[in-house]
Amino acid sequence: MFKHYTMNQVVLPLDLEFKLQENDIAFAINNLVESIPDEAFEDFLRQTGRPAYHPRMMLKIILCGYTQSVFSGRKIEALLHDSVRMMWLAQGYEPSYRTINRFRSNPLIEDLLRECFVQFRNQLVENKVIEEEAIFIDGTKIEANANKFTFVWRKSIERYNEKLIEKSNQLYDELLEKEIIPAIERENEEELSVQEMEKVVEKLDERIEEYNEKIETCEIGSERKKIRSKRKFPKQVRKQFVDFIRRKQKYQKDMEIFGDRNSYSKTDPDATFMRMKDDYMKNGQLKAGYNVQVATEGQYTLAYDIFSNPTDTRTLIPFLNTIEEKFFELPDYIVADAGYGSEQNYEDIIENRKRTPLITYNQYRKEKKKKHKKNAFHVDNWKYNEEEDSYLCPNGRNLRFAYHSKRKDKYGFTRTFKVYECEDCSDCPLRELCTKAKPGNNRKVFFNEKWESLKEYVRTKLSDEKTGAIYGKRKIDVEPVFGFLKANLGFTRFSVRGKRKVTNELAFALMAVNLRKFTANTRKTVTDDDVFSSIKDPSNIFIAWILLIFFFWLVLSQPL
């Protein structure tokens, strides 16, 4: 016997909400988007044209698509026809893939997505899921939607530009030597600017025009031939200078795109070539990508940002600025790994933001090992004489204070060092083991007092029971987020180009991970243990005995 089934019977449409389970992720998406205040959607209003789809509905269906690992506009459109939860969220509307793609690439969506994260964090705080005591920061590299062979390298452009400068100066000097053109006014004697090259081309055009007029007026064939031979060199040089102008403009544009980077992709100029953990050839090949930075607590992403710089050290300060300006106030503790440990970052967090950095530095773990502590040639293990302000080397010779030194990196940050120099290393039998200085030079020690005090501050905080326990949560808090994003959600490559669009797509993906985890954590499932525990409850046992006695009384009271 089968249940009744026919395709010829009309079925009345019902509210699709009844088709969804009680703890479906669609309800979490709906609650989150509905919590966004109406003021956030005012910028989407238009007074003319056809009425647009409501941005709340558009935001819901895109978020829902990302939670199902669907990142394509066409596939999200297909889900609107197939998925019950998508039909319920859209309430019967079926926007096309073009509308979906236009909406998620809209510049206004950036602030709307940030508002999503703010409201989501507020829900976590209200439900006491997070404690607001610390944030955990880490980064990962995600491949850009760019051709892996369309790379442009800064060193190559600089080398080509140097050759261009050398060749253009050489040709210009040759033109002056042969008195083909008069000298032009130059701002810089070392290189010709684009405007100056254009003036050279103008002068050459005038000179070539003079030769053309002479050729036309000359009636003797041998004379015309001589004039043509004189005209040949200016024409060749003019052609080269026109090429120089084009190349010079291209190199200048390339340098503007580089900024402080060393490479970019022609397909997506905002993407930088970075060494990632896996690649196409499995041999350490570089790929165009973005450095994704997230701040988490309770394995939920609370803030995010995109950087074209592959080095995490340079991203911490601008990322903290983004968190303060666009997401929430920083908590008391900033937790990150050794990739963020630097004098500039420690100084910014402690002095400027009045927060506590729980961030290790590169040599933190190495300094704890016995090999480091027993290394007699490392300055950390040398005896320091505070009165004489000197160190004693393994051979018993003094390294006295010599002078102060300042070093300024390419980003403008200055470090101050105290330099100590050994009295004489020339006849030291331990010289080869102690220093790599050239023969005739003595061993020098560069001591950064501020950096050493900051390292001691961090060591003290990490050895404390409370703050050490907070730092111990770092791996289990922020690392799983990247695992959820790449392995569970399948988000391993961006599908859009340009930093702004990439940032928006990352926000959709990270919020999708948050919603999936939040739904899974709040899901109520009945297990066998729950059943047994309810049976073992004394009140339930008493009720069961009462029902059993009542049942026997009914049976026995019936006449035979």
pLDDT digits (tens, 9 = 90+) for 31-48: 898 888 888 888 888 777
At residue 318, the pLDDT reads 93
Confidence of residue 164 (pLDDT cuts 50, 70, 90): very high
In this prediction, residue 545 has a pLDDT band, given cuts at 50, 70 and 90, of low
Task: Name the residue with higher pLDDT: 524 or 237.
Answer: 237
Q: Each residue of 259-281: pLDDT tens digit? A: 888 999 999 999 999 888 765 55
pLDDT at 560 over 60: no
Q: Residue 411 pLDDT more than 80? A: no
- Is a pLDDT exceeding 70 seen at residue 559? no
Residue 97 is which amino acid?
Y
Long-range pairs of 253-260 with CB within 8 A, sequence gap ≥ 24: 254/152, 254/157, 255/154, 255/157, 257/152, 258/154, 258/157, 259/308, 260/309, 260/410, 260/411
Confidence of residue 502 (pLDDT cuts 50, 70, 90): very high
Strand boundaries in 261-413, DSSP class E: 263-265, 272-275, 286-297, 300-307, 333-336, 356-359, 383-385, 390-392, 398-408
What confidence score (pLDDT) does residue 530 get? Answer: 46
**Encoded amino acid at 288, one letter:** A
- Does pLDDT of 507 surpass 80? yes
Residues of the chain with pLDDT > 90: what percent? 26
CA dist 452 and 523 (Å) reads 49
pLDDT given at position 529: 43
How much is the pLDDT for 509?
94
Average pLDDT of the residues in 355-361:
90
With contact defined as beta carbons under 8 Å apart, do 270 and 258 qualify? no
Specify the 3-state DSSP secondary structure of 518: helix
65 pLDDT higher than 50: yes
Question: What distance in Å separates the CA atoms of residue 101 and residue 66, rounded to the nearest whole number?
Answer: 13
**Distance from C-alpha of 430 to C-alpha of 449, rounded to nearest angstrom:** 27
- 331 or 528, which is more confident: 331
Please report the pLDDT score of residue 160 as a whole number.
93
Q: Is the pLDDT of residue 548 over 70?
A: no
Identity (one letter) of the amino acid at 9?
Q
Q: Taking 90 as the threshold, does the pLDDT of residue 7 lie above it?
A: no
Distances from the Cα of 78 to the Cα of 26, 96, 99, angstroms: 17, 9, 13
Coil, strand or helix: which one is 215?
helix
**Tell me, what amino acid is at 259?**
G
Average pLDDT, whole number, for the chain? 84
Task: Round to whole Å and give the CA distance between 349 and 352.
Answer: 6
* 12 has a pLDDT exceeding 60: no
Burial class (CB in 10 A: 0-12, 13-18, 19+), 88: buried
Tokens of 368: 């704890």
Residue 551 confidence (pLDDT) above 60? no
Strands 333-336 and 134-143: parallel
Residue from 98, 99, 96 nearest 79 by CA: 96
Alpha helices for 405-495 (secondary structure H): 431-434, 449-463, 465-472, 474-483
Which of 243, 253, 248 lies closest to 193 in space, CA to CA? 248
Look up residue 389 and give its DSSP letter.
T
pLDDT confidence bin for 17, thresholds 50/70/90: low
pLDDT at 534: 39
| Whole-angstrom distance, CA of residue 102 vs CA of residue 94 | 15
Q: With contact defined as beta carbons under 8 Å apart, do 86 and 65 qualify?
A: yes
Q: Band the pLDDT of 5: cuts 50, 70, 90.
A: low
CA distance 490 to 509: 10
Phi/psi region, residue 524 (left: phi>0; alpha: psi -120 to 50; beta: rest), is: beta
pLDDT at 319 over 90: yes
Mean pLDDT of 95-106: 90
What is the per-residue pLDDT for 405? Answer: 85
Confidence of residue 15 (pLDDT cuts 50, 70, 90): low
For tokens 């090992």, the residue is 369
- DSSP 8-state assignment for residue 277: S
pLDDT at 184: 84
Q: For residues 367 and 130, which has the higher predicted lDDT (pLDDT)?
A: 130
Whether 432 has a pLDDT exceeding 70, the answer reads: yes
Return the minimum-mean-pLDDT range out of 129-138, 345-354, 536-545. 536-545
Residue for token digits 């503790």?
Answer: 333
